[in-house]
A and B are shown apart, each in its own frame.
Chain A
Amino acid sequence: MNEKTGDGVKGFSKPIYLDANATEPLRPAARAAMLEAAELTGNPSSVHHAGRHARAVLEAARNTVAARLGVAPLNCVFTSGGTEANVLAMHGLGQGRRFLVGRTEHDAVRKGAPDGADVAWLEVDSHGQVRLDLLEAALHAPGAPAFVCLMLANNETGVLHPMAEVARLCRQHGAHLHVDAVQAAGRMDVNVEDLGADSLACSGHKMGGPKGAGALVLRGPAPRPLAPLFEGGGQEQGRRGGTQPLPAIAGLAAALCDGLDNPRDLAPLRNRLEQAARAAGAVVCGAVAPRLGNTASLALPGRRAQGQLMRLDLDGVCVSAGSACSSGKVAFSHVLDAMGLGELAGQAIRVSLPWDVSEADVAGFVQGYARMAAGTGAGAGLALAR
């Protein structure tokens, strides 16, 4: 019979969490800001003393996020998270435009355009970067001005698009450039002006803040008009209805500052685990392109992602494959598929290092991965499920 593997990776009694791109562990600074904000009773929209107090905390967070991302304070619109920020941009700023959406975008964006909108896809090369020649051709195509949606860093591979070139082309053709910076914000310098983006989305829990808050930031004079998804009480300058979740927003702002003020280059650790994975037979997807330092996409030829995930999980290692679906089933990776990786798109796991990852975590992963890779690789039927 097979070797017993139920006791966890040797020497690691605690699970090893390497799924930061799904959600980062909470940063202590964010926790402190949240707890403080949670003590406040006031609604930021109320005129009385308690309301004013809450409003001051909200606006301080807004000033911080706006300054860190390079926009005017009133051009920082708080949302419930990254998905809403992206969808708000596409609905609120995309009217009358044709959408050009990257093939490797997150589902929030791939499925974010309003019903009936004109959507065309932007192909990527085998490294996962957008094809600039095709972007230019698409921008040249006749029709309404374009609304281009491209992410800064890919959630599955960490691959960065050549955003300076993208922005230049968009400017030349009068296109709106919306950047999904959910994975990048807080992990690298992200400045809307420097990027040449017109709008940019980020999410609190992907930078070590709590789940429940995100932001859509807009370039240009403030407040920039933006049609709301729902009006509600007219909060956020009438651009996003609903009482602001103050603790989540305060946590987001604190996490962003903490991440940027205490930068940590995770690439050396990432490279170490990639090297070990290659030695165990893995292919690193998108390795040639510039990437976010914390993300590795490891495909093991002939081994479906589901089995790899389960095996690693049973050994106490948390990683993921593709984007997690709400039911928890593992879906085929549309990102790797768009990169032309064929079967490997069903055989890759994503390892994303959190801000507080330790060398021991990486060593534990390497041990678990080698054991998993050495195990049996049976029937391929479910690997093809897509």
Chain B
Amino acid sequence: MRILVAMSGGVDSSVVAARLLEEGHEVVGATLQLYDSRGAAKKGACCAGQDIRDARAVADRLGFPHYVIDAERRFQDSVIERFADAYAAGETPVPCVACNQGVKFTDLLGLAKEIGADAMATGHYVRRMEGPQGAELHRPVDEARDQSWFLFATTREQLDFLRFPLGDMPDKAAVRQEAERFGLVVAGKPDSQDLCFVSDGSYVDLVERMHPEMAGPGEIVDQSGHVVGAHEGVMRFTVGQSKRLGNAARLQGERQMVVGVEPGRKRVIIGPRAHAFVSTLSVRDVNWLVDAPPEGIVCKVQMRAREEPRTARVVPTPDGATVLLEEPAMPAPGQACVFYQGSRILGGGFIRRTEQQAAV
């Protein structure tokens, strides 16, 4: 069948294209140009000028057509600006989810359908398995490379059309071996990093440039609003963190942590670590990959990209879901809360700010 392969110019997606071609499919390569490659692009980031050249070189070597897709404006609007806006709203966003959902799985997938493709494949480390109720999304075999958390927002319709050929690979070394077997120039290329669009500086500089009102020093306050310290910029703080609090790190003998960020007033709110944990959280923009269980479901939830999943009960609500944790935790607003059962993703959503975090 005709398969559009989303190629970043890296090892993973190149191997995907080579394998599908070897299996006899009609492969069409596409690389998204997400930002102007003439600008300073971060080394090791995806889709900069060199990566487009690499993707094209792989396609030329293997002999299938390859196209560069202009997604600069869409990426700016739907990923970078929303990323900065989320920080300005006191959240810690996950831009990779927005990118997968918008530019990749909506726009590029739409293009794949337009050119008459039967499926779209990517180099994501995640498994798509056929189940009795249709396609299911699972963690990959290689746990070290697990990208399932970043893909929770994939809809069932999208999943139906998608293929993730690397989900079964035992490890990255095996992928590189495949690349070498196919003679791909990218076989030894370093892995790309997250936040591909942040060039030389850091994400702090980027957000402060887009929201100058957030830049500069401010106050650290306790939960009743008393000033207990000073900081260099709210951008450097995220809920749950204990670093960079200076003398305020310990108050009245109790260890403190960030419980909220108020970018508008440049304030960081802290509270005793012991009291800051919550047992209930609310999530929005929930995507279910199973039929939403009206009475709720006991499962595991993962609230950060790298953490041990915890047991919880997830109950759908009209505007998302309520997550009742078995043991209290410290969720960061804006991060994803993904529901798993074994290796399978049931669904997920974005963590809302709690009343406590918003009201101080």
Contact = CB atoms under 8 A, between A and B. Distances in A.
A244 B26 CA distance: 46
B70 A384 contact: no
A363 to B, nearest CB: 21
B4 to A, nearest CB: 9
Contacts of A330: 69-70
B72 interface: yes
A381 B26 contact: no
Given A5-B2, A328-B67, A379-B110, A307 B73 contact: no
B116 A382 contact: no
Contacts of B110: 378-382
Given A303-B114, A314-B28, A384 B74 contact: yes
Contacts of B238: none
Interface string A351-386: 000000000000000000000000111111110111
A306 B67 contact: yes
A304 B109 CA distance: 13
Contact of B107 (A2, A310, A379): A379
B225 to A, nearest CB: 44
A382 B69 contact: yes
Nearest to A330: B70
A55 interface: no
B114 A328 contact: no
A386 B33 CA distance: 12
Given A306-B67, A379-B107, A327 B2 contact: no
Given A2-B116, A4-B2, A311-B116, A382 B111 contact: yes
A329 interface: yes
A261 interface: no
A59 B102 CA distance: 59
A381 B106 contact: yes
Interface string A269-296: 0000000000000000000000000000
Given A314-B28, A314-B65, A382 B52 contact: no
B59 to A, nearest CB: 11
Interface of A: 1-6, 303-304, 306-308, 310-311, 313-314, 327-331, 375-382, 384-386
19 contacts: A307-B115, A308-B114, A310-B114, A311-B114, A313-B65, A314-B115, A327-B49, A329-B68, A375-B116, A376-B113, A376-B116, A378-B111, A378-B114, A379-B107, A379-B109, A381-B103, A381-B106, A384-B73, A385-B72
Interface of B: 1-2, 26, 28, 33, 37, 49, 52, 56, 65, 67-74, 102-103, 106-111, 113-118
